[in-house]
Amino acid sequence: MANITCSNIVKSYGAFPVIDGLDLSIPDHEFVVFLGPSGCGKSTMLRMIAGLEEVTGGRIEIGGTDVTDMPPGDRGVAMVFQSYALYPHMSVADNITFGLRRQGVSRSEIAPRLEQVADMLGLSPYLDRRPKNLSGGQQQRVAMARAMIKTPKVFLFDEPLSNLDAKLREKLRTEIRKMHLQLKTTTIFVTHDQLEAMTIADRIVLMRDGEIEQMGTPDEIFERPASHFVADFIGTPAMNFIDATIEAGHVARAGSIALSLSPELFPGLVPGQKVELGLRPASMDLAAPDAPNAIGGTVVLVENMGAEGQVITQVDGAEISFVTPQFRQVRAGETVHFALRPDQIHIFDPETGRSLRGV
Amino acid sequence: MGRVISATLARGLLALLIVVALGPILWTVLGAFKELRDIVTPVPKLLFEPTLDNFATILRNPTIRDGLLHSGVVVSVSVLIGAVLGIPAAHALARHAQRFGDDVQFFVLSLRFMPPVAIAIPFIVIYLDLGIYDTLFGLILVYLITTISTVIWLSVPAFERVPRDIEEAAAMEGCSPFEVFWRFSLPVAAPSLFGAIVFTFVLVWNELLLALTLAAQNATLPVVAASITSLGKEVPWGVINAATVVLVIPPLVFIGLLMGLLNTSVQSGRK
């Protein structure tokens, strides 16, 4: 168990820096998710912490020890790969215990530990099999068992669930989370799936183009996105963005839409200022036409999501969607009104994309 | 109905191809067990009194016996050294050579561009000067060019197919680069590597030109077999056929052994 400190990390391929001066500190016992679109540097970052990728500049410390120049095996970290990376020529039991056997741990000491992790992950019936005779989910559990049995200081997961089907992904996600609650080992988990990140993380590190766009708890990331990029990346259905102009009395106007904003949250707004409004479909619902902050639009499409439905409407030529449980009463072509509370409106600077929230 | 006809046609065509491909081999094998008068008869004989005389002639003939021995030594030593040096080199090329990897691979391949005939005569002169003309060592040395380059060229893709994640997972468990190669890359790539070794073996086993030019007394089996035609005044067809069979058996046995090994490794993988 250990905290991780990355200071001023630089990674270049040739002359091209993919990560340029990144600082990151992860406290002990925390479950951190690196989230971001592909190519944002999250996997590279993880592989540098693992020691599989050389660091061009900067230092990495794990548990107070500078591991920047250590080979992967000496860092006290264990990694679970997206492809599972099981050893095809070894049985499941040999796969799991290889690391311990290599370190010269005695057979009598390995046996109970193997039993313990195999029990925990439900692998006991498969210990004599070869990896290729297991299903994807079982293979991933073997990979997790192989990482766990070494009782590492840090767990690293590199998109471990991407190759599994949706249902299994959900199940294993819960198992990984439970495992962390039990073992409390510092964990870094890389994914491009925002829902996976939201459900599993203590803290999310949202990356973009080799830089940290925002770091915070899932609630912070969801409710107070620091930028247009974060707001757009997190949340399904995706946030609606509308260009608007501030008018006197803290009102944002865009065509027929006029939304009154919260002066407490956005104290710095001045009339005439161009802004970008961010409206989460999930924070809006059907409302009376004269309700505060009501927006009127023509229904284009209704998407049934089971308990709720996404209604896509056309407002002044642009599409705005919202989510409502009463979607079954809404028909395409109708005019509907929907509204949201002022404190649920996000406002971004259209130039920089940063949030204009003052507090 | 149409499906039946096309299936029958396909089978018929397949049978014809098999006959075309295996016919000469079958005839050679049959000829090896025939008396000369059964071979040269104008009407081909399928039923005849088999004889082992041809094989007796061959195995009693010291030239042929020595040829077999020389071939065995030269080919096995050059293939063994080729594999021992070539396989690790291929792994290094596939995984660790970043800057000059492609150039090295091209150089290795380029060794196979030159026709052996072009180097045969200079080699005679060099070998005579070095005093290794007509020695097994000399033949092994020149065959190493073939074996090492062929093994490297065929093994690089085998190692490239080993998932990099597996090697990285092994490195995460503290394995040194050599351990990663020895305990993971090598066993995982083994099936493809067997193929590379078999191919290399057959290539040098059948090599005639360099053996013909660089050895006289210490000739290998292809050279001896080629020279049998001049054993007597009349062409000893039966002996030639028997010699061919003897020449073909070792590679067949070798391939059979490797296939067996391969199958067991695949089988155990299935357990």
Whether B202 shows a pLDDT value over 70: the answer reads: yes
Q: What is the pLDDT of residue B248?
A: 84
Mean pLDDT, residues B134-159 taken together: 92
Whether B266 shows a pLDDT value over 60: the answer reads: no
Query: Chain A: nearest CA to B154, how far in angstroms?
Result: 22
Q: What is the pLDDT of residue A36?
A: 94
Query: Chain B: nearest CA to A299, how far in angstroms?
Result: 49
Question: How does pLDDT run across A221-259, given as a tens digit for each residue?
Answer: 999 999 999 999 999 899 999 999 999 888 999 988 999
Contacts of A79 in chain B (CB under 8 A): 168-169, 172
Listed residue (A171, A169, A283, A277) closest to A222, CA to CA? A283
Q: What is the pLDDT of residue B219?
A: 83
- What residue spans define the domains of chain A? 4-233, 240-348
Q: How far is Cα B150 from Cα B85, in angstroms, rounded to an integer?
A: 11
B134 Cα distance to chain centroid = 22
Q: What is the pLDDT of residue B57?
A: 83
Interaxial angle between packed helices B53-60 and B62-91, expressed in degrees from 0 to 180 and rounded to the nearest 10: 80
Which letter, b or e, does each residue of A219-251 get, where b requires 16 or more Cβ atoms within 10 Å of its Cβ?
Answer: eebbebbbbbbbbebbbeeebbbbebebeeebb
Q: How far is Cα A46 from Cα A34, in angstroms, rounded to an integer?
A: 8
Whether B225 shows a pLDDT value over 80: the answer reads: no
Which letter, b or e, does each residue of B83-119 get, where b requires 16 or more Cβ atoms within 10 Å of its Cβ?
Answer: beebbbbbbbbbbebeeeeeebbeebeeeeeeebeeb
**Tokens coding A66:** 């500078």
Mean pLDDT, residues A115-144 taken together: 92
Mutation target for A interface from B172, B261, B262, B270: give the one with most A CBs within 10 A: B172
Contacts of A146 in chain B (CB under 8 A): 169
Whether B228 shows a pLDDT value over 90: the answer reads: no
- Determine, for residues A73 and B169 on separate chains, whether the beta-carbon distance falls below 8 Å: no
Q: What is the pLDDT of residue B249?
A: 85
For B199, what's the count of Cα atoms within 13 Å in the CB-facing half-sphere? 15
The DSSP symbol for B56 reads H
Question: How does pLDDT run across A152-190, given as a tens digit for each residue?
Answer: 999 999 999 988 888 889 989 998 999 999 999 999 999
Query: Strand A335-339 and strand A295-304: pairing?
Result: antiparallel
Whether B220 shows a pLDDT value over 50: the answer reads: yes
Q: How far is Cα A241 from Cα A353, in angstroms, rounded to an integer?
A: 11
Contacts of B174 in chain A (CB under 8 A): 71-74, 99, 102-103
Q: Give this complex's ipTM.
A: 0.84
Q: Are A32 and A2 in contact (CB under 8 A)?
A: no
Q: What is the pLDDT of residue B61?
A: 83
Can you name the residues that pair with A285 across neighbouring β-strands? A339
Whether A22 shows a pLDDT value over 80: the answer reads: yes
Mean pLDDT, residues B232-256 taken together: 80
Question: How does pLDDT run across B98-116, given as a tens digit for each residue?
Answer: 778 788 888 888 887 878 8
**Tokens coding A269:** 């707004």
Q: What is the pLDDT of residue A245?
A: 94
Whether A9 shows a pLDDT value over 80: the answer reads: yes
Measure Cα distances from B35 to A279, B226, B229 in Å.
98, 20, 16
Structure confidence at residue B233 as a pLDDT band (50, 70, 90): low
Mean pLDDT, residues B229-252 taken together: 77
Query: Chain B: nearest CA to A159, how far in angstroms?
Result: 13
- Determine, for residues B269 and A89 on separate chains, whether the beta-carbon distance falls below 8 Å: yes
Higher pLDDT, A46 or B65: A46
Q: Which fold has domain A4-233?
A: Rossmann fold (3.40.50)
Q: How far is Cα A22 from Cα B210, in angstroms, rounded to an integer?
A: 62
Q: Give the residue numbers in B contacting A (CB under 8 Å), as ranges.
A: 163, 165-166, 168-175, 184, 187-188, 269-271
Question: How does pLDDT run across A188-221, given as a tens digit for each residue?
Answer: 999 999 999 999 999 999 999 999 999 999 999 9
**Average pLDDT taken over every residue of chain A:** 93
Whether B268 shows a pLDDT value over 80: the answer reads: no
Whether B267 shows a pLDDT value over 60: the answer reads: no
Q: Which amino acid is at B20?
A: V
Q: How far is Cα A295 from Cα B188, in angstroms, rounded to an integer?
A: 62
Q: Assign 3-class secondary structure to chain A.
A: CCCEEEEEEEEEECCEEEEEEEEEEECCCCEEEEECCCCCCHHHHHHHHHCCCCCCEEEEEECCEECCCCCHHHCCEEEECCCCCCCCCCCHHHHHHHHHHHCCCCHHHHHHHHHHHHHHHCCHHHCCCCHHHCCHHHHHHHHHHHHHCCCCCEEEEECCCCCCCHHHHHHHHHHHHHHHHHHCCEEEEEECCHHHHHHHCCEEEEEECCEEEEEECHHHHHHCCCEHHHHHHCCCCCCEEEEEEEECCCEEEECCEEEECCCCCCCCCCCCCEEEEEECHHHCEECCCCCCCCEEEEEEEEEECCCCEEEEEEECCEEEEEEECCHHHCCCCCEEEEECCHHHEEEECCCCCEECCCC
Contacts of B191 in chain A (CB under 8 A): none
Listed residue (A89, A87, A138, A96) closest to A117, CA to CA? A96
CB atoms within 10 A of CB B13: 10
Q: What is the pLDDT of residue A142?
A: 95
Question: How does pLDDT run across A23-45, given as a tens digit for each residue?
Answer: 999 999 999 999 999 989 999 99
Tokens 């005639």, residue located = B208
**Tokens coding B146:** 């073939």
Structure confidence at residue B270 as a pLDDT band (50, 70, 90): very low
- Determine, for residues A72 and B270 on separate chains, whether the beta-carbon distance falls below 8 Å: no
Q: How far is Cα A153 from Cα A130, in angstroms, rounded to an integer?
A: 28
Q: Are B163 and B125 in contact (CB under 8 A)?
A: no
Query: Strand A203-208 and strand A31-35: pairing?
Result: parallel
Q: What is the pLDDT of residue B54?
A: 86
Q: How far is Cα A294 from Cα B79, in angstroms, rounded to an integer?
A: 83
- Which of A298-307, B212-221, B253-262 shows the lowest per-residue confidence on average (mean pLDDT)? B253-262
Q: Are B242 and B57 in contact (CB under 8 A)?
A: yes
Q: What is the pLDDT of residue B216?
A: 81
Measure Cα distances from B164 to A13, A42, A197, A228, B17 in Å.
19, 19, 26, 37, 42
Q: What is the pLDDT of residue B243?
A: 82
Listed residue (A244, A253, A295, A300) closest to A274, CA to CA? A244
Structure confidence at residue B271 as a pLDDT band (50, 70, 90): very low
Whether A151 shows a pLDDT value over 70: the answer reads: yes
The DSSP symbol for B133 reads T
Q: What is the pLDDT of residue A71?
A: 92
Mean pLDDT, residues B124-139 taken together: 91
Q: Assign 3-class secondary structure to B220-240.
A: CHHHHHHHHHHCCCCCCHHHH
Q: How far is Cα A334 from Cα A331, in angstroms, rounded to an integer?
A: 6
Strands, sheet with A186-191, edge to edge from the N-terminal-most edge strand: A77-80, A154-158, A186-191, A31-35, A203-208, A211-216
Long-range contacts of A180-183 (CB under 8 A, 24+ apart): A180/A31, A180/A155, A183/A148
Whether B269 shows a pLDDT value over 50: the answer reads: no
On whether the A240-348 domain is CATH 2.40.50.140, my answer is yes
Query: Would you report the helix, strand and coil content of chain B in percent, each value rounded to 5?
Result: 80, 0, 20
The pTM score is 0.81
Q: What is the pLDDT of residue B258?
A: 76
- Which of A315-324, A348-357, B60-69, B123-132 shows the lowest per-residue confidence on average (mean pLDDT)? B60-69
- Determine, for residues B169 and A81 on separate chains, whether the beta-carbon distance falls below 8 Å: yes
What percent of chain B is predicted at pLDDT more than 70?
94
Q: How far is Cα A311 from Cα A255, in angstroms, rounded to an integer?
A: 20
Beta-carbon contacts of residue B118 (< 8 Å; ≥ 6 apart): none
Q: What is the pLDDT of residue A359?
A: 59
Long-range contacts of B125-128 (CB under 8 A, 24+ apart): B127/B214
Q: What is the rounded (10 degree) CA torsion for B247, B248, B251, B257?
A: -120
**Phi/psi at B25 (5° precision):** -65, -45
Higher pLDDT, A334 or B40: A334
Contacts of B261 in chain A (CB under 8 A): none
